[in-house]
Amino acid sequence: MLYTRLNDLPHARLGVVVAKRFAPRAVTRNTIKRVTRELFRQTGLPAIDCLVRLAKPVNSKQGPATTAKLKTDLRVELARIFAQAKAAKSHPRQPPLLPPTVPPTVPPALPSAPASPAVVTSTATP
């Protein structure tokens, strides 16, 4: 899953989240991060922040930690989502139209009553 957001920097930034529940082995998690960083560098994205997060499990503790099939599938999927992000962010959208602003209305001033002297009373209790 890829989340993107425009940034004010001259380059793109990448964040990778690989949860242990989706890739229980450290070797698998590191492979996913390595392949993701490699494809991110090769894609040449515009100035956006990208966050890549696994959405479903990729393997279990049974069987090999990484395989050529896992790497190939990962490269295909990441290339697809990075290409979509590049296409979407290279054509920036127009800012949304805002409704016309209406100046705040000030209610008419009420006639003021003449100022009365303030009366201060104090009660002292012994």
pTM over 0.85: no
Q: How far apart are CA 33 and CA 13, in angstroms?
A: 14
Phi, psi of 51 (to 5 degrees): -125, 115
> For the segment 23-73, what is each residue's pLDDT rounded down to a tens digit?
888 989 999 999 999 998 888 888 888 889 988 888 877 777 778 888 888
Q: How far apart are CA 97 and CA 94, in angstroms?
A: 9
Per DSSP, 22 falls in state: T
> For the segment 75-106, what is each residue's pLDDT rounded down to a tens digit?
998 888 888 887 876 555 544 444 555 555 65
Phi, psi of 24 (to 5 degrees): -65, -20
Query: How many residues appear in the chain?
Result: 126
Q: Which helix (H) or strand (E) holds 34?
A: helix 26-43
Show the CA angle centred on residue 70, arms to residues 65 and 73, nearest 5°. 165
Written as one letter, the residue type at 125 is T
Domains of the chain and any CATH numbers: 2-90 (3.30.230.10)
Identify the band that residue 9 occupies on the pLDDT scale cut at 50, 70 and 90.
confident
Q: How far apart are CA 2 and CA 17, in angstroms?
A: 10
